[in-house]
Structure 1
Amino acid sequence: MVGALNIMSETVVELCLELSEDDPFYQHKKKLLSCKGLGVKETVSLSGSLSQQLLNASLEKLLHFGRIANLDKVEVYFGDDACTPGGVYSVRNEVSALTWIFSLIPASSCKPQTLEAALREAVKVRVSEVVGAEGEEARVGDSHRCEKESRLVEWGQRNGVKTKLQITQIEGYGRGAIATEDLKFGDVALEIPISSLISEEYVYSSDMLPILEKIDGMTSETMMLLWTMREKHNHESRFKPYFDSLQESFCTGLSFGVDAVMVLDGTLLLDEIMQSKELLRERYDELIPLLSNHKNVFPPEMYTWEHYLWACELYYSNSMQIKFPDGKLRTCLIPVAGFLNHSIQPHIVKYGKVDVETSSLKFPLSRPCNKGEQCYLSYGNYSSSHLLTFYGFLPKGDNLYDIIPLDVDVIDDDDDDEDMESEYSWTTHMLRGTWLSSNHNIFHYGLPTPLLNYLRRAHGLVHHTETDLWENLEVEMGVLENLKSTFDDMMQNLGDADSVDGENVQWDVKLAMEFKERQRKIVSSILDSCSAGIEMVQKAIAKPPV
């Protein structure tokens, strides 16, 4: 997406918006924009003495465009089926759209009492309103400072780190970061100089490089992994306070024991964890023999399978992809920032690019965080299965990315209609908890429209206008019955709810039980929607509308 601010005069301002054709979901978003009466190119003009009513109308148009432009794959797929009456797709999307609009109006171009200044202020107000209505209560009560973590923060501050956060133990989260003062939208909660990032540059200046660069297929990420396994034990390391602050076990899904794995039987997560562990073990078994002739550089006691798995879990759960001034993306460990916990309603969503002017990595707030509240980061738009496998936790609240994928064959279509083209271009369809849908009426049922239309097409119904659907209720019945049959089998594979006392089991078994229960809830909601849909269609067949 592209946007530009044009100040035509003191009384006329234009915001030019454009949906980039490089967007991977360009056709889908173009269709959504069209449904809102918008094109892929729009201009919003502010002029004269702007009333509050006109300002709100201009912001609404910007928001309609910004929301759709900022939709990710899952949000595009579920589209307006998951949109609230107020037009909000998700808190993540709303904050991203508002942040994007805000970025189009740089503070340097805003003089007091100008149109652009009024619009910036309106965006700030809207951010507070949106999250104020759905914000997650995160105020911390009796927390205490952690000695190792405090020493790391002090080390960071001596090395140029600027922070408005305090590392604490937080009930239900473990370690986390709370705001030491009221932070507003746009405030920088944490700033870390580039010199304090742990990147591949340290490998390139070490005695490991001459050995590792001769190994075929050696990546910079693997080099970093091997460097970290040794550096952790280096008492003279510049980053000793950081390594001292790391836990001895990260307790991710990769460390699940046999009992936890057995609990996951019948879930897709079982395959994800087993495949990931097998792949890591294969890589380890291939790698270690290549290092065995260089024991002075790679001491065997530091390169055991247990140490390798620990390092992998560290990078999966704590590393970030950072864009450096030279344009390269590098995998880095970020001291202090690794203590920020993830939330489905984060305070910080825009980060990951080194500021050229300050040569630092900044973490600005996309929504306010009050003093004493936990400050959350977005790790990414991940499903609970991914977060459990690679980070070791399940997010609190409804995760919009907890989807069940259904692989399908792409339907060949000779129709040149762009709407039809986008409708059948999905190679993977998906479902999630139907309570997240805003439309449970006939022909919707809380189920995603792209999937329903794909199945209708597979049953021979090419066009899906409301008239077509009313005239082909038998097709609708077949679609719902087939979908219900699929998920009946899935529920049967999940089995009955576990009768084990969740409070008196190992951490991994407890997490596995909680994940499986979430899967049951999703599948159960899909089955309920199919059953309700079948009942609606049966009534319509028995008594068709006049």
Structure 2
Amino acid sequence: METDNQTFSSDEVRDDDGCFILLALDRNDHLFDKKKKLLERQGFMSENLIFLKCSMYPEEVDTVLKELVQIARILQLNELEMYFGENNEGTPVDFYSPRNEVEAFDTIISLLDSSLSSCTPAQFSVLQELRKAVIHMIHEYGNVHSMDAKTLENSCEKENCLLQWGESSGVRTSLKVAYVEGAGRGTIAKEDLDVGDTVLEIPLAIIISEELVQKSTMYPILSKVEGMLPETMMLLWSMKEKHIVDSKFRVYFDTLPEAFNTGLSFGIGAMATLVGTLLFDELMQAKEHLRKQYNELFPALCNDHPAIFPKEFYSWEEFLWACELWYSNSLKIMFPDGHVRTCLVPIAGFLNHSLHPHILHYGKVDSDTNSLKFRLSRPCRAGEECYLSYGNYSGSHLVTFYGFLPEGDNVDDVIPLDIDFSEEDNNNVTSDWNTHMVRGTWLSKNQGIFHYGLPSPFLECFRKALFPGLHTNCKLQGSLEGEIDVLSELLLIFSGMMEKFEDEDEDEDESRTSTEWDVKLALEYKDLQRKIVSSCLTSCHAGLKTVEFALCDCMKEDIRG
């Protein structure tokens, strides 16, 4: 999971008859140049002063808000969103991703709240009206993705004990824990909750951090081990702490599952299913890394310090369990001293991930209350499951470290392309992007000629490699004939990728009848990869027909003269 990372700077300038709101691109943003170009292409600047009159008609409020949202979307773009959202037109993009949309709203709300805290009475009214309009937009967006949770009758006795323990230690929450159909445990809103509400507050005193290791008997030993990281110390501490009967965190460890069922625990059958996929390579590397790390520590620590590191607590199986615990449940938290530490946060682990989360920012301790607060970025109705975002992760990452694929279209599910251009082609290619990739073309709104639902940077790079001279996206005979060559080459590439899946289909029949959780998840991931490649093939075939029709029309026009 990720810490907060605001990528915009903002301020406001006073005026007797209103105020100017400043939305500015952060000069430290590593995408500054690309975002600046995109802003300018849409008629904005890297620093945008937007004037608010003290009295505005509703349509004027709507116009200002539309402008603010357009700018905020660009300010909050990440690299992947920029790559797939890039186009050569100056027309505004009305949606990049669920994450970007909520971040844009957050940007504007934060700016308005800052302004409202120090505005004049005359300015208060228009700022408040604008804030209400933003909240209305957020509600409209949230309503599309709002759904009552389908809860099961499973007992939550251990989970409720943890909640009671937490509340006795200062935890405050508007959520309850329940078993949710298809998702295991989740958190359900007990009442209607709105934007900005704190749904969970965890005092620093019950957060498991490296400070606990530093107070333990194992710290003097581990601190002398060369290359020992705080995260590894915490992992080793938790392997022992889970077995201590009178541990302060006994009730927390009691709620943890016996098996986390992440990709790190995939067996031979699941791994065989994944051969040839990106996930197979990622899992092999991760498994090798963990095994190497374990062998560097054990049995040496157990042999040298048997009283501190009992062998029964430090088997390979226990080590893997602890790794999965920390990968799937830890949060990176910024403490009041400015240091970011990897921690386990009791109760917060019940919050599930979603592509349309309610909570985006949760990684900074509030220095006034000495607690970690989870605030809503969009409303959550009573009876609805409350989600947070673990981060902008692909399906392969989520399977590896969390053990699931999210429901819906994940804009971060991409397939990297390793296009082997000749040396001469490489000399002809100039691009702002060093790597290229594709994702499901159904995610793109631009399926027309010269686009085909594929990313513009990739297509432009490919065209330049094939046609070093001037190539324009115009319906002229030369350009259209070149475009047919481009699409024909792309069809060869994507057909080759699809053939790898089809070659392995013969071995999948037995796997599809398996009841093993890991084989089922591996097949689900592989089907997703196949679907992405298939969409690229379909789009290229459709694009080829479109270009051929356009070429026929062009040649008819030439004949008519």
Do Structure 1 and Structure 2 share a fold, with TM-score over 0.5?
yes
* AA of the residue aligned to 2:368: E
Does residue 441 (structure 1) correspond to residue 448 (structure 2)? The answer is yes
- Kindly state the Cα deviation for residue 173 of structure 1 after the two structures are TM-superposed: 0.6
Aligned residue runs from structure 1 range 179-218, under 5 A: 179-218=189-228
Shift of 1:7: 5.4
- In structure 2, relative to structure 1, the CA distance for the partners of 1:387 and 1:252 (3 Å cut) is same
Question: 2:287 pairs with 273, 277, 295, which one?
Answer: 277
Aligned with 1:450 (options 452, 457, 471): 457
Aligned to 1:486: 493
Q: 1:80 to 1:424 in 2, by over 3 A?
A: closer
Give the drift of 1:425.
2.7
The yes-or-no answer on 1:335 pairing with 2:335 is no
Secondary structure at the counterpart of residue 104 of structure 1: helix
Cα deviations across residues 236-267 of structure 1 (Å, max 9, x unaligned)? Answer: 21111111100010000111111111111231
Q: CA deviation at 1:411?
A: 11
- Specify the code of the residue in structure 1 equivalent to 2:371: S
Superposed displacement of residue 408, structure 1: 5.6
Aligned to 1:430: 437
In the alignment, which residue of structure 1 is the partner of 2:103?
Answer: 96
> How do 1:275-314 residues align onto structure 2 when only pairs under 5 Å count?
275-291=285-301, 292-314=303-325
1:25 and 1:73 in contact (8 A); partners too: yes
Equivalent position amino acid for 1:403 in 2: V
Give, in angstroms, the shift of residue 470 of structure 1. Answer: 5.8
Distance 1:27 1:469, change over 3 A: farther
Alpha-carbon separation, structure 2, partners of 1:446 and 1:322: 38
- Tell me which residue corresponds to 1:59: 65
The 2-side partners of 1:282 and 1:188 are apart by: 42
Residue 79 (structure 2) pairs with residue 79 (structure 1): no
What residue identity is the alignment partner of 2:478?
A: E
Residue equivalent to 2:276: 266
Displacement of 1:473:
2.8
| Aligned counterpart, 2:118 | 109
Partners of 1:33 and 1:65 within 8 A in 2: yes
The equivalences for 1:524-539 within 5 A come to 524-539=534-549
> Following the alignment from structure 1 to structure 2, what is the Cα–Cα distance between the partners of residues 336 and 82?
47
Secondary structure of 2:298's match? Answer: helix
- Structure 1 window deviating more from structure 2 (479-488 vs 369-378): it is 479-488
In structure 2, the CA distance between the partners of 1:276 and 1:368, relative to structure 1 (3 Å rule), is same
| Superposition pairs of residues 312-331 of structure 1, within 5 angstroms | 312-331=323-342
Q: Which residue number in structure 1 is paired with residue 521 of structure 2?
A: 511
When normalised by structure 2's length, the TM-score is 0.91
Name the structure 1 match of 2:391.
380
CA distance in 1, matches of 2:34, 2:350: 37
2:382 to 368, 371, 374: 371
Matching residue's letter, 1:316: Y
SS at match of 1:109: coil
Which moved further from structure 2: 461-470 or 395-404?
461-470
Which 10-residue stretch deviates more, 135-144 or 349-358? 135-144
1:537 alignment partner AA: V
Give matches, 1:83-162, under 5 Å.
Answer: 87-106=94-113, 108-109=117-118, 114-133=125-144, 135-143=145-153, 146-162=156-172
Amino acid in the other structure paired with 2:117: S
What is the aligned counterpart of 2:177 among 142, 167, 183? 167
Q: Secondary structure at the match of 1:226?
A: helix
The alignment partner of 1:385 has SS state of helix
CA contact (8 A) 2:476 2:554 kept: no
Structure 1 alignment gaps of length 5 or more: 414-419
Q: Residues 72 and 463 (structure 1 numbering): CA distance in 2 closer, same or farther, change over 3 Å?
A: farther
Tell me, which stretches of 5 or more residues in structure 2 are unaligned?
1-6
Find the partner of 1:40 among 26, 34, 46. Answer: 46
Assess, with a 3 A threshold, how the Cα gap between structure 1 residues 136 and 483 changes in structure 2: closer, same or farther.
farther
| Residues 1:251 and 2:251 aligned together | no
Q: Give the deviation of 1:464 after TM superposition.
A: 5.0
Q: 1:464 to 1:177 in 2, by over 3 A?
A: farther
In structure 1, the residue matched to 2:3 is none
Is 1:22 aligned to 2:32, yes or no?
Answer: no
Does structure 1 retain, via aligned residues, the 8 Å contact 2:259–2:321?
yes
- With over 3 angstroms needed to count, the CA separation of the structure-2 counterparts of 1:2 and 1:402, relative to structure 1, is closer
CA distance in 1, matches of 2:209, 2:340: 10
- State the 1:382 CA deviation: 0.5
- Cα RMSD of the aligned pairs, angstroms, is 2.5
Q: CA 1:365–1:300 in structure 2 vs 1: closer, same or farther (change >3 Å)? A: same
TM-score when normalising by structure 1: 0.93
Q: 1:290 to 1:179 in 2, by over 3 A?
A: same
Report percent identity of matched pairs. Answer: 49
Q: Which amino acid aligns with 2:35?
A: K
Distance 1:242 1:489, change over 3 A: same
Asked if structure 2 preserves the Cα contact closer than 8 Å seen for 1:453 and 1:464, the reply is: no
Confirm or deny: 8 A CA contact 1:140 1:178 kept in the other structure. Answer: no
Task: Flag the 1:132–1:411 CA change in 2: closer, same or farther, 3 A.
Answer: farther
Whether the aligned pair in 2 keeps the contact of 1:82 and 1:436 (CA below 8 Å) is: no
Q: Distance in 2 between matches of 1:463 and 1:99?
A: 43
